[in-house]
Amino acid sequence: MKISLEEAAKKLSRGEVVAIPTETVYGLAACYNQEEAIQKIYQLKNRPANNPLIMHISSLDDLNTFTRELPPSTKSLGETFWPGPLTLVIPIDPKTVPEKVRAHLHTQAFRIPAHPLTRALLKKTGPLVAPSANLSGKPSSVTHAHVETDFGNDFPVLDGGECQKGVESTILVFQEGKWYLGRLGALSAHLFQPILGYVPEELIGKKPLCPGQMYRHYAPKAHLHLGGDFSSAENILGFSDRKYPKHARLFSLGKSSDPEEVLHHLYSVLRKLDEEKIKSATLDIDVPKEGLWLTFLERIKKASGN
Ligand code: TXA
Ligand code: MG
């Protein structure tokens, strides 16, 4: 159910949960200090309690509410990439954020989203915590219709149109004196080199593991085969500029030269498989192992359960 900006602000302040648009994917939002609403988010998504939430803020100064000391480069990262699809995980004063939000960790994930409607909303409500607006394990929502598919037609959604990026933010985690990649996302890792002086490495394999990263994710009901033999495939997730066997049905992800376009389409195409009750599909994974393609490869690996 579409609601106005004013209604969204009112509901959030009353302790309700509302879906909000961002430039990456839709979020399921609550005010950061409304514990019942936060509990409701976990219930609605069927999300494990050890998977913490990102706090959406409207300015770098908002960070001062949660910590006195920022890790090195926090300000330059924020000034360069915010508002935008970057999430920074930093140590905080744990008293300032409910335990449920941060899954008992003494760190908190923050980002300033770029969508104008949500920026206007944040000015009215203050910081909002929001995971992606999908059932846990399923593909994220990039339209208000996706949110309604997962949470019902009466669920309140601030409609901001189709999300521009279509894939989640890149997460950087500050740990042991360095920034690490907690999750690949809409920004590729080499973009951080000019600021950090190094390309952040993946946190995977380091302890503690980035919570929430160990589950099957982004997955449609269909069985997904990664690459391999297209000759016997009935359904192919592939590229509009490539040739596949004629008998197969092509679900196009866009051009093989344009990873941004492909990421923009990815979740809609994965959801389409469910809408059409497709049982199995083969994915074309013949893409360069660099830049934003790494985000694509990571998402489809998780979506296929690999
Ligand atoms: O683009 C996005 O980031 C979207 C929009 C709505 O902002 N949000 C999103 O949230 O993708 P979610 O909950 O689906 O994914 C957030 C991930 C969690 O899976 C978790 O791994 C990581 O952020 N995270 C959150 N807090 C953390 C923390 N304190 N330490 C390490 N990782 C954290
Ligand atoms: Mg998610």
The pLDDT tens digits for 124-148 are 999 999 999 999 999 999 999 999 9
Q: What distance in angstroms lies between residue 139's CA and the mean position of ligand 2's atoms? A: 8
What is the CB < 6 Å shell around ligand 1? 22, 24-25, 27, 51-54, 85, 87, 89, 102, 105, 107-109, 113, 130-132, 168-169, 171, 173, 182, 210-213
Quick one: pLDDT at residue 165? 98
Question: Going by CA atoms, what residue is nearest to atom 12 of ligand 1?
Answer: 131
Quick one: pLDDT at residue 213? 61
Question: Residue 208: is the preceding peptide bond cis (ω within 30°)?
Answer: yes
Measured from the Cα of 131, ligand 1's closest atom is 13
Quick one: pLDDT at residue 305? 87
Q: What's the mean per-residue pLDDT of the chain?
A: 95
What is the Cα–Cα distance from 248 to 236, expressed in whole angstroms?
7
The mean per-residue pLDDT over the stretch 228-251 comes to 95
Cross-strand partners of 202? 181
- pLDDT tens digits along 186-238: 999 999 999 999 999 998 766 555 555 656 688 889 999 999 889 999 999 99
The mean per-residue pLDDT over the stretch 267-296 comes to 97
Closest ligand, as measured to the CA of 28: 1
Quick one: pLDDT at residue 217? 80
Name, in order, each residue with C-beta under 8 angstroms of 92's C-beta and a sequence gap of 6 or more.
66, 67, 102, 106, 107, 108
Q: What values do phi and psi take at 194, rounded to 5? A: -60, -30
How large a percentage of the chain has pLDDT more than 70?
96
Measured from the Cα of 102, ligand 1's closest atom is 29
- pLDDT tens digits along 102-116: 999 999 999 999 999
- pLDDT tens digits along 47-80: 999 999 999 999 999 999 999 999 999 999 999 9
What is the Cα–Cα distance from 12 to 34, expressed in whole angstroms?
9
Encoded tokens for 258? 């344009």
Label residue 258 by pLDDT band (50, 70, 90).
Answer: very high
Quick one: pLDDT at residue 219? 87
- pLDDT tens digits along 154-182: 999 999 999 999 999 999 999 999 999 99
Long-range contacts of 27-30, Cβ-Cβ distance < 8 Å, separation of 24 or more: 27/54, 27/56, 27/113, 27/118, 27/128, 27/130, 27/131, 27/132, 27/133, 28/130, 28/131, 28/132, 28/133, 28/151, 29/56, 29/128, 29/129, 29/130, 30/128, 30/129, 30/130
- pLDDT tens digits along 275-284: 999 999 999 9
Quick one: pLDDT at residue 203? 85
Name, in order, each residue with C-beta under 8 angstroms of 287's C-beta and a sequence gap of 6 or more.
256, 259, 293, 296, 297
What is the Cα–Cα distance from 284 to 282, expressed in whole angstroms?
7
Ion ligand 2 contact residues with beta carbon within 5 A: 132
Nearest of 52, 45, 56, 265 to residue 142 by alpha carbon: 265
What is the Cα–Cα distance from 304 to 198, expressed in whole angstroms?
31
